[in-house]
Structure 1
Amino acid sequence: MANSRPGALFGAACGVLLLAGCSAEAGSGGAASDDAAPHWGPTSTPSATATQSATPPTGAGDVSPHPYVGMWVTADGHIRQMLLANGRYDEARGERESAYTGSYQILGTRIEYVDDTGFSADGTFDEDVLHHAGYVFYREGSDAHRQAREER
């Protein structure tokens, strides 16, 4: 059966190489540091999974999540934003779960959001504090979060 389509294996291999080449080129941007590479989901650089396999990783433990993945909350807990490892976010406001959902990209300490309606926004991380859209978010359970709740 392998001889019935001799170009199929070659075509698949070229596709993987092309994908890896495009991913590496797209993420390089002339930057010297991994911190400058955009982050969409579980890997720190777009080429990491493309060079390993033609299929995305299947297990949650395959790649470490980005350090900013997790729950970010305002001091009063009214706004809760979950940054998911797959490059998506889910934001709750008060009793309204999933009030805003969309994708995010992290570049160094900067985060750029595009919600599912097409609206975009950005923010900046400072360790366990996120400044976004005029709000201050804290990594849930961090010392910064505990201190902000005490100061209220």
Structure 2
Amino acid sequence: MRRLVLAASLCAALADSALAEETMSNHPYVGLWVTADGRIRHELLPNGRYDEARGSRRSAYQGRYVVTGNHIDYWDDTGFTADGDFIDGVLHHAGMILYRQQ
């Protein structure tokens, strides 16, 4: 019985994750955000993860993110946290301004 409950819980979690990713794949903020000089690049992935590149350093930081309205919260895999706001189609994050890359 215990295994059955555990398996059912795992299936439910996977279904929730797949639904969340499908929902986020259509979210207007998912995609690549870049500073004007191209040095900092945030890729917001549809699975709720992000990958940040800095200069020639790919995947300098990785973690998860949550968007609530026009606000974004980041949790880096190392434990660092940050946030930002989308204002008029521009991401303002930690003193940086990032623009949507098409």
When the two structures are superposed, what TM-score results if normalisation uses the length of structure 1?
A: 0.54
Cα offset, 1:78, TM superposition: 0.5
Runs of 5+ consecutive residues of structure 2 not aligned to the other structure: none
> Alignment RMSD, CA only?
2.4
Cα offset, 1:123, TM superposition: 0.1
Q: In the alignment, does 2:43 pair up with 1:82?
A: yes
Residue by residue over 1:41-82, the C-alpha shift from the partner in whole angstroms, topping out at 9 and shown as x without a partner, is xxxxxxxxxxxx834239x7x546221000000001000110
Runs of 5+ consecutive residues of structure 1 not aligned to the other structure: 17-52, 142-152
Amino-acid identity (%): 55
Cα offset, 1:128, TM superposition: 2.2
**Whole-Å Cα distance in 2 between the matches of residues 127 and 86 of structure 1?**
24
Larger radius of gyration: 1
Match of 1:94 in 2: 55
2:51 corresponds to which letter in structure 1?
Answer: D
**Whole-Å Cα distance in 1 between the matches of residues 49 and 64 of structure 2?**
4
- Aligned residue pairs, count: 93
Structure number with higher helix proportion: 1
When the two structures are superposed, what TM-score results if normalisation uses the length of structure 2?
A: 0.78
Q: Choose between structure 1 and 2 for higher RCO, CA contacts under 8 A separated by at least 6 residues.
A: 2
**Whole-Å Cα distance in 2 between the matches of residues 81 and 113 of structure 1?**
11
Structure number with higher strand proportion: 2
Match of 1:140 in 2: 101
